């Protein structure tokens, strides 16, 4: 029998190409072969496979499982394309061929980005001030030993002077269940946000342009992945900050301890259920993330606070061109007042409402619902091998979506700060239209016009999927 099924994943969708003949009711997998993984070890790919050799499946179940497996392999973000082809060797027996095309894993790059929360904050509130730009060098190695280890080293000057190093190993055991990651960060600033007023950040630089804040942090993360879609993260870390005494003149409650130093240990637990078809720009599936963080583990720590957070997103795919996205995010602090270094609310990543990109709405409890209906009107891929004769960069894909958006939410400020009262403790919403571009290596660019609940309309540019 020559019947075959192809499941191909690029950056967007799965395509099933059945042969014209009738498929069998059941099928047994004899072997699984992988080609194209020049560096990635086979066990990293096989970890994402639910199908197994020697097992018999109903044909419809087999098609669904292979389709899901292909999505999981692509979401490793190690490959530009994944294709799974079952080839029949007998009437009810197949050899499963997995063909992958690897990404370019070592990506040295020049840092030139904005220090502000988003492009609109820099363009509107900061008057396009180029002194608020970070520059330097960054090295990303996304598959160090072929086991999906990730190494990032960053050296940065400009608005924020920083050194940052992260190394993660997804699996440290033979069963590929347990993982570890470590991070060290050091940064300094001569200009910092010292408070908010009228729902905008207030930045301060003293007359001598002294360094106003130095911060050192280190953390260790343990990961447990007991099933394909469920992840458990346990973090423990240490943070130490020192500020210039002039900062306390601007905001005496910056640290809430009347001093210029703040140090504390912290621990957090996160549960993540992730069944999205594409982690960079999802069109189908669901995401659930529940978090608990304790700031201050010992009696001599300078912070004593507990934070709870929730993210729940659902993606409904109606066709190859249309889908609907809705997401709920919520967070709460148990304490009535936080040091400014822990301030949360709308406007701080990842919580925002369209139309309020230039605002920060601060408080102890945040609740947001974001919604988008999207229509894909462009899906092309250009061969640029004549310009860039490197296989990993030879294809330049572009997908474009027209989006109709509606977000709404609420921030509860227990302290009722008068100068921020216009937007705190009140129902907020924003709506509008936008164009989302998804391109090379799943990079996202968003161009949106939004009107907020104050009837103020503005054009905004963002560089990440909204949910």
Shared domain check, 129 and 83: no
Q: What backbone phi and psi angles, to 5 degrees, belong to 71? A: -60, -40
Query: Domain for residue 458, yes or no?
Result: yes
pLDDT digits (tens, 9 = 90+) for 34-83: 999 999 999 999 999 999 999 999 999 999 999 999 999 999 999 988 99
Considering only residues 463 and 449, tell me which one the structure prediction assigns the higher pLDDT.
449
pLDDT band at 9 (very low <50, low <70, confident <90, very high): low
Shared domain check, 400 and 255: yes
* Whether the predicted pLDDT of 136 surpasses 70: yes
Query: Domain for residue 467, yes or no?
Result: no
Query: Domain for residue 298, yes or no?
Result: yes
Shared domain check, 304 and 211: yes
Question: CA–CA separation, 95 vs 89, rounded Å?
Answer: 7
pLDDT at 14: 37
Shared domain check, 51 and 170: no
Q: Which domain holds residue 350?
A: 106-462
Question: CA–CA separation, 37 vs 295, rounded Å?
Answer: 42
pLDDT digits (tens, 9 = 90+) for 23-35: 788 999 999 999 9
* Average pLDDT of the chain, as a whole number: 88
Shared domain check, 123 and 95: no
Question: What region does 406 belong to: left with phi over 0, alpha with psi -120 to 50, or beta?
Answer: beta
For 427, residues 6+ apart whose C-beta sits below 8 A from its C-beta are 408, 410, 453
Shared domain check, 212 and 193: yes
pLDDT at 7: 53
For 324, residues 6+ apart whose C-beta sits below 8 A from its C-beta are 315, 316, 318, 371, 372, 373, 374
Shared domain check, 260 and 135: yes
Taking residue 193's Cβ as centre, other Cβ atoms within 10 Å add up to 17
Shared domain check, 95 and 151: no
Asked which of 57, 81, 102 is the last residue of a domain, the reply is 102
* Whether the predicted pLDDT of 314 surpasses 60: yes
Question: Looking at the DSSP assignment, which residues form a beta bridge with residue 309?
Answer: 291, 331
Query: Domain for residue 2, yes or no?
Result: no
Query: Domain for residue 330, yes or no?
Result: yes
Shared domain check, 143 and 54: no
Question: What CA–CA distances, in Å, run from 92 to 4, 62, 97, 274?
Answer: 11, 12, 16, 33
Shared domain check, 94 and 202: no
E strand spans, 91-149: 93-102, 106-114, 133-141
The CATH number that applies at residue 448 is 2.40.160.50
Taking residue 387's Cβ as centre, other Cβ atoms within 10 Å add up to 10
pLDDT at 466: 75
pLDDT at 16: 39
Asked which of 102, 120, 139 is the last residue of a domain, the reply is 102
Structure tokens at 238: 């240490």
pLDDT digits (tens, 9 = 90+) for 86-115: 888 888 889 999 999 998 888 776 777 777
pLDDT at 219: 98
Does residue 62 sit in helix, strand or coil?
Answer: helix
pLDDT band at 122 (very low <50, low <70, confident <90, very high): confident
The CATH number that applies at residue 56 is 3.10.20.310
pLDDT digits (tens, 9 = 90+) for 241-290: 999 999 999 999 899 888 899 999 999 999 999 999 998 899 999 999 99
Q: Are 190 and 198 in contact (CB under 8 A)?
A: no
pLDDT at 8: 52
pLDDT at 6: 53
Query: Domain for residue 39, yes or no?
Result: yes
Asked which of 102, 127, 148 is the last residue of a domain, the reply is 102
* Whether the predicted pLDDT of 221 surpasses 90: yes
- Per DSSP, the residues of 322-349 read EEEEEEEEEEEESSS---GGG-EEETST
Shared domain check, 166 and 93: no
* Whether the predicted pLDDT of 381 surpasses 90: no
Mean pLDDT across 135-140: 84
Shared domain check, 421 and 293: yes
Domain count for the chain: 2
Question: CA–CA separation, 152 vs 143, rounded Å?
Answer: 11
Q: Within its chain, how far is the Cα of 184 from the centroid?
A: 20
Q: Are 304 and 255 in contact (CB under 8 A)?
A: no
Q: Are 431 and 456 in contact (CB under 8 A)?
A: no
Query: Domain for residue 434, yes or no?
Result: yes
Q: Are 57 and 23 in contact (CB under 8 A)?
A: no
Mean pLDDT across 321-349: 92
Considering only residues 91 and 329, tell me which one the structure prediction assigns the higher pLDDT.
329
Query: Domain for residue 73, yes or no?
Result: yes
């Amino acid at each position: 029998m020559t019947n075959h099924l192809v499941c191909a994943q690029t950056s967007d969708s799965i395509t099933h190409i059945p042969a014209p003949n009738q498929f069998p009711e059941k099928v047994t997998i004899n072997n699984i072969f992988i080609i194209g993984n020049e560096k990635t070890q086979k066990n990293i790919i096989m970890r994402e496979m639910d199908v197994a050799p020697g097992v018999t499946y109903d044909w419809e179940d087999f098609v669904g499982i292979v389709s899901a497996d292909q999505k999981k392999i692509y979401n490793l973000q190690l490959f530009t394309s994944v294709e799974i082809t079952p080839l029949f060797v007998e009437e009810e027996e197949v050899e499963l061929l997995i063909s992958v095309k690897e990404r370019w894993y070592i990506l040295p790059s020049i840092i030139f980005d904005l220090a502000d929360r988003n492009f609109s904050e820099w363009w509107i509130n900061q008057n396009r001030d180029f002194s608020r730009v970070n520059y330097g060098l960054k090295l990303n190695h996304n598959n160090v030993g072929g086991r999906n280890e990730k190494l990032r080293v960053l050296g940065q000057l400009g608005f924020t002077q920083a050194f940052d190093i992260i190394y993660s190993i997804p699996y440290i055991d033979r069963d590929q269940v347990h993982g570890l990651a470590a991070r060290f960060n050091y940064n300094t600033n001569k200009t910092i946000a010292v408070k908010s007023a009228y729902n905008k950040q207030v930045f301060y630089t003293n007359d001598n342009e002294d360094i106003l804040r130095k911060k050192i942090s280190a953390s260790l993360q343990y990961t447990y992945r007991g099933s394909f879609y469920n992840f458990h993260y346990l973090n423990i870390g240490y943070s130490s900050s020192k500020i210039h005494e002039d900062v306390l003149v601007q905001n005496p409650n910056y640290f809430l301890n009347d001093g210029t130093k703040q140090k504390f240990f912290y621990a957090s637990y996160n549960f993540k259920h992730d069944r999205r078809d594409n982690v960079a720009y999802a069109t189908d599936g669901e995401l659930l993330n529940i978090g608990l963080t304790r700031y201050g583990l010992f009696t001599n720590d300078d912070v004593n606070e507990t934070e709870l957070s929730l993210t729940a997103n659902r993606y409904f795919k109606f066709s190859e061109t249309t889908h609907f996205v809705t997401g709920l995010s919520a967070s709460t602090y148990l304490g009535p007042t936080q040091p400014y270094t822990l301030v949360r609310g709308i406007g701080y990543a990842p919580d925002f409402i369209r139309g309020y990109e230039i605002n920060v709405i601060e408080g102890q409890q945040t609740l947001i619902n974001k919604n988008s209906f999207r229509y894909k009107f462009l899906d092309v891929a250009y061969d640029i091998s004549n310009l860039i004769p490197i296989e990993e960069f030879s294809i330049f894909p572009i997908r474009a979506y027209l989006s109709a958006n509606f977000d709404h939410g609420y921030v509860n400020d227990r302290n009722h700060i008068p100068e921020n009262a216009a937007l705190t403790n009140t129902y907020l919403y924003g709506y509008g239209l936008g164009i989302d571009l998804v391109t090379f290596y799943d990079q996202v660019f968003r161009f949106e016009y939004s009107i907020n609940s104050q009837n103020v309309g503005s054009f905004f540019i963002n560089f990440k999927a909204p949910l």
